[in-house]
Amino acid sequence: MAAWTWRFEKADGAEVEPAVVPEEFTTQGDAESWIGEHFRQLLEGGADQVRLFEDGTQIYGPMSLHAEEAQAEEEPQES
Query: Per-domain residue ranges for the chain?
Result: 4-74
In this predicted structure, the answer to whether residue 72 has a pLDDT above a threshold of 70 is no
Q: Which residues pair with 57 in a beta bridge?
A: 54
Confidence of residue 20 (pLDDT cuts 50, 70, 90): very high
> Residue 17: helix, strand or coil by DSSP?
coil
Residues 34 and 22 sit within 8 Å (Cβ to Cβ): yes
Give pLDDT tens digits for 53-67: 999 999 999 999 986
φ and ψ at 2, to 5 degrees? Answer: -70, 150
